Amino acid sequence: MNAPQYDKPLPDITPLTRPFWDGLRHHHLVLQTCGHCHKVRHYPRPVCDQCYSMDCEWVPGSGHGKLHSWTVNHHPFHFAFKRESPFVTVTVDLDEGVRMQAPLRGADARMLRIGMAVELIFEDVTPELTLPAFKLV
C-alpha cells in the first residue's frame, strides 16, 4: 500500500447517516424516507417535518436530476483541493424532490444552464469511502 494518504475532509458518518454512505460505497443512491408518510428527506435527519414520525426507511434513488445552480471553485480554501482547482460544483434537483451538491465532471461551466439533465456517478476515494459526483446526460 504505497498510495498517497487521502488528505481531503472526511464525512463524520453517524449511525443515522450510515445507510446513505454504505449505499454510495456499493454504487447505489439510497435516500431516507419517512416510515409513516413516506416523504423523502435529505440530508438524513431524525424527524419527519411533515408528520413528525421518527420512523424511517431507505429507498433507492434514481440518480437522475436537473441543474438547480452551480459554482466554479477557483480558490480551493482547503489545500487538498488545490491540485484540481478550478472545479465545478453543482446543486441538483433530484427526481425524488430533494437536492444534492457534488462536483460536476467532464463539462465546461460556460455551457451550463438551469434545468440541464444530470446523472449521479460514484467516485471511490478510499477503500471505505465513495463520494458522489455528477455528469451531464
Partner 1 sequence: MSIRDQACVTGIGETRYTRETTRSQAELAFEAALAAIADAGLTPKDIDGVVPYVMGGVIAEDFVTNFGLPDLRYSALTPMGGASSVAALQNAALAVAGGLANHVLITLGRGALSTGRITDRIGQMPQFRLVGEFEMPMGTVAPAQFYAPMARRHMELYGTTSEQLGEIAVTFRKHAQLHDNAMMHKPMTLADHQASRMIADPLRLYDCCLESAGAAAVVISRADMARDLRQPPIYIGGVAEGHPDSPSTITQRPDICRIGLAKAAPKAFAMAGVTHQDIDVAEIYDCFTYIVLCQLEDMGFCAKGEGGAFVQGGRIALGGELPVNTHGGLLSQAHIAGMNHIVELTRQLRGQAGARQVANAEVGLVTGYGDLGDGSIAIMHK
Residues contributing to the site for partner 1 (CB under 8 A): 8-14, 17, 42-43, 68-78, 81, 84, 86-87, 89, 91, 98-103, 109, 113-114, 129, 131-133
CB of 124 to partner 1, least distance (A): 13
Give φ, ψ of 132 to 5 degrees: -80, 150
State which residue, 5 or 12, has the beta carbon closest to partner 1: 12
Nearer to partner 1, 2 or 7 (CB): 7
Quote the CA–CA distance of 14 and 21 in Å, as a whole number. Answer: 10
Strands across the sheet with 40-41, in order? 40-41, 30-34, 56-60
Closest approach of partner 1 to the CB of residue 49, in Å: 10
Question: Nearest distance from residue 64's CB to partner 1, in Å?
Answer: 17
Residue 83 phi/psi, 5-degree rounding, is -70, -20
Of the two residues 38 and 78, which places its CB atom closer to partner 1 in the complex? 78
Whether the Cβ atoms of residue 65 and residue 118 lie closer than 8 Å to each other: yes
33 vs 62: CA distance, rounded Å: 14
User: What is the nearest approach in angstroms of partner 1 to the Cβ of residue 37?
Assistant: 18
